[in-house]
A and B are shown apart, each in its own frame.
Chain A
Amino acid sequence: MTARTASLWQFRQPSVIPGFGLALGVTLSWLILIILIPLSGLAWRSSALGWSTFWTLATDTRTVNALRISFGTAFLAALVNVIFGVILAWVLVRYRFPGKRIIDAMVDLPFALPTAVAGIALTALYAPNGWIGSLLTPFGIKIAFTPIGIVFALVFVGLPFVVRTVQPIMEEIDKEVEEAAATLGANRFQTIRRVLLPGLAPAVLTGFALAFARGVGEYGSVIFIAGNLPYVSEIAPLLIVIRLEEFNYPAATAIAAVMLIISFAMLLIINTIQAWSRRRYGYGA
């Protein structure tokens, strides 16, 4: 009887360290006050709309287009980041070249640079009269004020997520594995494709998921370069802001709810793939 009550009551394992109640109390109150109450407010407001209203708002053509643009460009940007992020991480881990340390530090720039600054800087570069944009205009290539511009901004924002998840895993790779592959007659390309990349897959997927999630919600760096043409280059977060400015709170709430549901679902799927891939290849992020 006593044993049973003890195990039932054992919310935490006994410890001599003091301060559990205080620390957990502060943590939970702050969490509930700052995060959970505001977020459940959003859930409550969108459920108060009623299913049919919610469905009408969520399937509005402009909303659907904005969501498609947000998720589509974030997907493309995360893909670009996976390719170049893995190359960059590889170069930083394996090769020696002058200025390597500075490049390594620069990778974190998107974490440190405010997104509005990144937005106007990228626009200055890729606008038709900008530094790089003016070089491309003669060829009829337009980057800023098109969906490609959105992808460029999201590539900037998402890059460190891929590099910083893949880099530590690359550093841990045991060279013996590569030596073994080489002695068994694999050429370098085969070793990379069949031996190294599968082991990196979970980390690469994690990086992809983080960059993708960040890209879907990104606002500051995108709105300057996007051109914000409804149905063409208008992202979902911007549409939320526009609806708020029109005092159309139900529409803003509905878009936000759809965004949250889709991104949580996608993260769940990616986490599942990642768990599967970790089981299969043994190690990973």
Chain B
Amino acid sequence: MAHDAISSRTGNTETVRIATSESRLARYGLIGVALCFVALFLVLPLAAVFTEAMRNGPGEFATVLADPETFAAIKLTLLVAVIAVPLNLVFGIAAAWAIAKFEFKGKAFLTTLIDLPFSVSPVISGLVFVLLFGSHSLLGPWLQSHGIQILFAVPGIVLATVFVTFPFVARELIPLMQEQGTSDEEAALSLGASGWQTFWYVTLPNIKWGLLYGVLLCNARAMGEFGAVSVVSGHIRGLTNTMPLQVEILYNEYNFVAAFAVATLLALLALVTLVLKSVLEMKYSEQIAASRRH
């Protein structure tokens, strides 16, 4: 007791308990628990991807990446993202414009509908397109007689990806544009700008970082989607296998090194996404929507 009083008088802050913080022991304990948890569930899995891919040396790693099937998977993944992301970008801007800049009936309901794909299992997201375009659906026979291939082909993969990534951009822009209000646009319009000019020169610069943020997340999901794409793809090697599907096929053939080699590319994509995301959050935090949850 006396020792405590003396040491606190001599400025030894360690024995002075701040009333709004935990004891040192509790603090270190909690940090320890948190770090162990992060290590077990986040750091080690990531490390495992790279280590397993390099298990037989960089030579085999390079062989896998040079394989034409891998190349086809990379190409398909990029193609799907290049189609799906811009479509959802346009949709996201339109939805955010309508929802954030105007007051109308049924707005809350519309917002809920936009979020719907988040609460649907990826497998079900794929299933709905199988039911819609499959051979014993209403559309199936008609599509077949006209030689249009949607399922087990690129259009099906794109549709499933668009479904799954549907809310990303809109979700990011709606709170941001709601916060920014309409006064900037009103000023531009009163100065004689046309609607499109207002959008290009006033709104777009205001939302560009938030938009980029949404596109980043949308793209990561589009390139990495597995469940929905797996259901509609048909797993035709070299034709309808995206990179995540290629990982699965190689893994199921016990070709672990090859599976992890392709997985490395996807893990790198994830790391790049995280770095860009952190940079955007650090530099433009006030120009990115405040609510962070997807």
Contacts and interface: CB of A to CB of B under 8 A. Distances in A.
Interface string A31-64: 1001111110110010000000000000000000
Interface in A118-144: 118, 120-122, 124-125, 131-132
Q: Is the interface of B mostly helix, strand, loop or mixed?
A: helix
Contact of B105 (A11, A42, A101): A11
B136 A88 contact: no
Contacts of A94: 21
A38 B115 CA distance: 15
A34 B159 contact: yes
B51 to A, nearest CB: 8
Contact of B263 (A30, A120, A167, A178): A120
Contacts of A146: none
B30 A27 contact: no
B270 A113 contact: yes
B106 to A, nearest CB: 9
Interface string A198-225: 0000000000001001001111100010
A131 B48 contact: yes
A107 B224 CA distance: 18
Interface in B193-225: 195, 198-199, 217, 220-221, 223-225
Given A17-B185, A179-B20, A217 B136 contact: no
Given A113-B267, A237-B122, A237-B124, A16 B189 contact: yes
B251 A120 contact: yes
A273 interface: no
Interface in A15-29: 15-20, 22-24, 26-27
Contacts of B267: 113, 117
A18 B193 CA distance: 11
B278 A220 contact: no
A75 interface: no
A78 to B, nearest CB: 14
B162 interface: yes
A39 B19 contact: no
A71 B56 CA distance: 39
Nearest to B251: A120
A114 B101 contact: no
Most buried by A among B22, B128, B225, B245: B128
A35 B97 contact: no
A241 B248 CA distance: 14
Interface of A: 11-13, 15-20, 22-24, 26-27, 30-31, 34-39, 41-42, 45, 84, 87-88, 90-92, 94-95, 97, 101, 103, 105-118, 120-122, 124-125, 131-132, 152, 155-156, 159, 161, 164-165, 167-168, 175, 178-179, 182-183, 188, 191, 210, 213, 216-220, 224, 236-238, 240-241, 244, 249, 252-253, 256, 259-260, 263-264, 267
